[in-house]
Structure 1
């Protein structure tokens, strides 16, 4: 905004005289007084995707296997694994085995969604558990004890990861804890984490993380679009 030029005031030392004000000389331009002003526009900051996977008051999008695991295949880099089955339950203990069930219950797990992916004789079941705070999810991750119940079906035999050695993982993102259990379809014990079973387990963990993050991004993008539709003050 241009500055306003203030005219100089000339004062006289005579006690009885006034204080004449200097007038602009011919050719001297005066700054117009009708300089336009602009109202401040308050633009809210863009929504943070992490808020939408951390705060249940904001995390309001539909949560089903169809929304959490929408693709027919899990694709991680050059690896692609077809999805074979999905499941969800509000009784988190029903989709867990051993000590994990009580750990989920004690921390208020409200839903556990699972999906299984399989290829080349190995499979992985991903489980994503929902809590009311990131602290609860982190506590489950830190105190994790095996394990997630494997989800057979769709070509994955019922013997998958039952009564044999499988690879398991646990982690957390926002108010979600996520788990994987991966192994050989033929029931053979996994003895090497660098095997195909170990690889599909690692890919499953990364895919679960990506899906949770995408949930936050989608909700944040929707909120940002709604902001642009509202008049700014």
Structure 2
């Protein structure tokens, strides 16, 4: 007995048996063919669902990857038309991301109207022994005054006055035989502070006292100048005992830069505190 092509598993013949004396049961064959047709439709539909699920997984992966930025993954995220009779895959959803705070600390230290916290040597220079880059310094003296020219040397006083300097706060720090005075000049606006920095000449006068005897009096010293917000700040660094700083010196140079960095941090901390207070105030 020979058979036609079998089903995929080789268990059932696809055609009627042929040979003498065999009469086909046409009704049974029709039922069998109909049953196989239903099975094939189910297999096709099942394959379509699996394919749609695979496409959905790829789309979801592409959208997740786009969280890292860039346009590439976002272009891959657009899904094409779905197979007939197959429901479209649901788009993935993500928790909303909170926008960054609109309060910039620099906004609060750039305008006199917003920068209203108490401003004294105690609030600006609160630490007796600050550390910068692992190097510890000791604060030896502080001062504050509204006569900006009085605490300067050379032409710096005139520059500060011409740009509307309100006051100068000073502090001196010592470390390993080097003393540094930082002077923070306060203006009404950032533009005025920037002009004072750009046009600065001369230097801030060294503030002596306690463990910082005379230094940088009519002798070579290291100077720095910078500005942040409505504050311009200047440092003068040299050896205690008024020993001159040589051109190849690194100790005074490092100390001046450290205290300038410290002053910058203190001014920015003031802005951060003001921004945090404003953000916490109910509107």
Whether TM exceeds 0.5 here: the answer is: yes
Work out whether 1:81 is the aligned partner of 2:137.
yes
Structure 2: gaps (5+ residues): 1-98
TM-score scaled by length of structure 2: 0.63
Distance change (3 Å), C-alpha of 1:225 and 1:165: same
* Higher RCO (C-alpha 8 Å, min separation 6): 1
Identify the match of residue 253 of structure 2 among 186, 189, 198: 198
Q: 2: CA distance between counterparts of 1:169 and 1:44? A: 34
Work out whether 1:51 is the aligned partner of 2:107.
yes
Shift of the alpha carbon at 1:192?
A: 3.5
Work out whether 1:98 is the aligned partner of 2:154.
yes
Q: Is the 8 A contact 1:54 1:133 kept in 2?
A: yes
Q: 2: CA distance between counterparts of 1:192 and 1:152? A: 23
Q: 1: CA distance between counterparts of 2:250 and 2:215? A: 16
Residues 62-211 of structure 1 mapped to structure 2, 5 A cutoff? 62-157=118-213, 159-192=214-247, 194-211=249-266
Aligned-residue CA RMSD (Å) = 1.6
Q: 2: CA distance between counterparts of 1:47 and 1:202? A: 29
Three-state SS of the structure 1 residue aligned to 2:200 is coil
Structure 1: gaps (5+ residues): 1-42
Q: 2: CA distance between counterparts of 1:117 and 1:65? A: 13
Higher helix residue share: 2
Shift of the alpha carbon at 1:194?
A: 4.5
Q: 2: CA distance between counterparts of 1:133 and 1:193? A: 37
- What residue in structure 2 maps to residue 17 of structure 1? none
Moved more, 186-195 or 93-102: 186-195
- What residue in structure 1 maps to residue 279 of structure 2? 224
Three-state SS of the structure 2 residue aligned to 1:222 is helix
- In the TM superposition, structure 1's runs of 4+ consecutive aligned residues that sit over 3 Å from their partners are 43-46
Shift of the alpha carbon at 1:196?
A: 1.2
Q: 1: CA distance between counterparts of 2:247 and 2:269? A: 31
Moved more, 116-125 or 194-203: 194-203
TM-score scaled by length of structure 1: 0.76
Q: 2: CA distance between counterparts of 1:120 and 1:221? A: 37
Distance change (3 Å), C-alpha of 1:193 and 1:175: farther
Q: Deviations over 1:21-72 (max 9, x none)?
A: xxxxxxxxxxxxxxxxxxxxxx995422111100111000000000000111
